A and B are shown apart, each in its own frame.
Chain A
Amino acid sequence: MGFIVFLLKRILGLVPTFFGITLISFFVMHLAPGEPMSLQADFNPKMTPEMRQRLRAQYGLDKPLYVQYSRWLKGLVHLDLGRSFSPDRRKVWDKIRERLPVTILINVLSMLLILAVSIPLGVRAAVRENSLFDQVTTVLVFLAYAAPAFWVALLLMLLFGIEWNLLPVSGLHSLMGYDQMGLFEKVVDWSKHLVLPVFVSAIGGLAGFSRYTRSSMLEVLRQDYITTARAKGLPERVVIYRHALRNALLPLITILGLSIPGLIGGSVIFESIFAIPGVGQLMWSAVMARDYPVLMGNLVIVSILTLLGNLLADIGYAAVDPRIRTGLQEQE
């Protein structure tokens, strides 16, 4: 019961955050100088002031901002994100929907990679504090923190794609002969294309998470109950993985939730470098065309994903920490 109440509270708490995000983005975007019209109008000698005015009216840009925002919100409530300003005038949701799966796939894969690699790495580094292993991982972490991910992407493309010719460097699948491939070959083809993007978008997280795991583990290993567990004569493996790691993972869950915006934000860069037709690329072209509805739609989708990620983190937290599940923490 307590868990359901907790969950409802969290979900309700997300609502104002969500509207805050839409409000800020809407106003920031519209208050900035320049408007979609100028791109179409400035280079068109036949454009008269009246025509420009008519275009503005057609897109609803002649109304005061708060009217535009409330109109946009009304649409959102009906799950309608409006239509793109681009000449095709397609529905924003359709544009996003066809690109969303790729972006989510890459982000989920890199999240899994991050967890699978950084947690064991961090634990090992903490258990053997100051050992050679610890020092080497620390150096690697520092380097990974400081390296611009898009540059690492370039280097990997240079090595794997051009120098050794091992992996494809752009797109999601081969352009030639893709249709003739069997299912298995298609999967292999996709995986080959995804290796570099997934790895590159995971780099920052790999560094951050192994660092956090390490320091969190070090903190826990100093606690009395670990000494107790050891004194009981439990095997070291059990002490580390059952007693220590469980507690060390708690703060990590929150960090996991907080790292989602950065991970998704990175998509813009990786999708641009690796020519992957995902949401990031859509966002990019919308920015270039000053396509307000697509920009807003993108922001909405991305912030929903982020908030969902945070919610999942909260649930995960509750699942492992009974104090939160039973609401004990709020009584203190």
Chain B
Amino acid sequence: METSLSSTPIREGKRWQKTMLELCSNPLTVSGLVIVGILVFTALFAPVLAPYDPQRIDTFHILEAPSSAHLLGTDGLGRDCLSRLIFGARISLLVGFVAVGIATAVGTVLGALAGYYGRWVDSLIMRFVDIMLCFPTIFLIMAVIAFLEPSIWNIMIVIGLTSWMGVARLVRAEFLSLKKRDFVLASRICGASDLQIVFGEILPNAIAPILVSATLGVGGAILTESALSFLGIGVQPPTPSWGNMLTEGKDNLEIAWWLSVFPGLAILVTVLGYNLLGEGLRDFFDPRKKR
């Protein structure tokens, strides 16, 4: 049965324009968007942007300080740090999206189940959430990674599977309040199945907070990945990631400051970008802050 009242298509373009304008009026969102945009651009065009092959070993130019030939210096194997930094953006982008995608999917499904069905389903899932929240997750991640092969995919999956609790709580709360609304009741009267109600009616109305928390979650995922790579159980060299570049920085702390400074700065700016974007989106969706 066709239930949707089609919204006026003529004004669709205008509304889109207005939304963009409103988004761009917030300096938080704009600076976040710019940073994330730069990250995406860098990751996509890394081979074009990088002045050298990030894996090319050059034993004649080991640990050189930043110069015009190597803007950010070279590492212990003579590899160009700027090029490695640029290629490292790919890892960050990938980790952010995949890990958060997994966390959001798991959290949304579990939160929806808990909020929609209530009763024992709710208590079971929420108990599980409590357990996971009490977990010092890095210990679990370390334990798992140590047994699996430390690869970027394993890292992303494990980060995703240990960071869905916030989303689950959020979605549950949304469902609890939304499932009692009239439009849900109406669609139930029309004979919609549970699946249709959950995914067709309630979930679309809970997208805003999920989007905000996912955006804010990307920063956390990137930080976790970099910490794991720094410890040597994340992305493995020679593949450059900002975290494993810092390991080398630590090993050469006394002689090569540039190895420690720039990759961390890249992480800082990237995470900052996602956080700013998330905060901006939160303001955007918050009806209390509407002028």
B135→A145 contact, CB < 8 A: no
* A157: interface (CB < 8 Å): yes
Cβ 8 A contact of A302, one of B136, B233, B249, B271: B136
Interface residue total, chain A, C-beta cutoff 8 A: 49
**Once bound together, how far apart are the Cα atoms of A264 and B135, in whole Å?**
10
Q: Which one of A146, A273, A302 contacts B139 once the chains associate, using CB atoms below 8 Å?
A: A302
Q: Does A29 contact B (CB under 8 A)?
A: yes
Report the number of A-B residue pairs with Cβ-Cβ less than 8 Å: 140
**A307 at the A/B interface (Cβ < 8 Å)?**
yes
Q: Could you tell me if B268 and A146 are in contact, using CB atoms closer than 8 angstroms?
A: yes
Contact check, B142 vs A284: say whether CB atoms are below 8 A apart: yes
Is B55 close to A, CB under 8 A?
A: no
Contact A17 B130 (CB under 8 A): yes
Judge whether B231 and A284 touch: CB under 8 Å: yes
- Considering residues A16, A158, A162, which has the most beta carbons from chain B within 10 angstroms of its beta carbon? A158
CB <8 Å contact, B264 and A147 = yes
Query: B265 — nearest CB in chain A belongs to which residue?
Result: A151
A25 touches B260 (CB 8 A): no
**Once the chains are docked, how many angstroms separate the CA of A258 from the CA of B260?**
31
Q: How far is the CA of A279 from the CA of B176 in the complex (A)?
A: 41
State whether the Cβ of A154 lies closer than 8 Å to any Cβ in chain B: yes
Whether B249 pairs with A154 at a CB distance below 8 angstroms is yes
Q: For the complex, is A34 an interface residue (Cβ under 8 Å from B)?
A: yes
Q: What mask results when residues 14 to 35 of chain A are scored 1 for a CB within 8 Å of chain B, else 0?
A: 0011001100110011001110
Tell me, yes or no, whether B219 is within 8 Å of chain A by CB.
Answer: yes
Does B21 count as interface, using CB distance less than 8 angstroms? no
Please report the C-alpha to C-alpha distance between residue A307 and residue B264 in the assembled complex, in whole angstroms. 33
- Picked from A143, A150, A258, A290, the residue with its CB within 8 Å of the CB of B227 is A150
CB distance from B83 to the nearest CB of A (A): 20
Docked pose: A154 CA to B268 CA in angstroms: 14
Measuring CB to CB, which residues of chain B are less than 8 angstroms from any residue of chain A?
Answer: 127-128, 130-131, 133-140, 142-148, 219, 223, 226-227, 230-231, 233, 243, 246, 249-250, 253-254, 257, 260-261, 263-264, 267-272, 275-276
Interface residue ranges, A against B (CB under 8 Å): 16-17, 20-21, 24-25, 28-29, 32-34, 142-143, 145-152, 154-155, 157-158, 162, 258, 261-262, 264-266, 268-269, 272-273, 283-284, 287-288, 290, 295, 298-299, 302-303, 306-307, 310
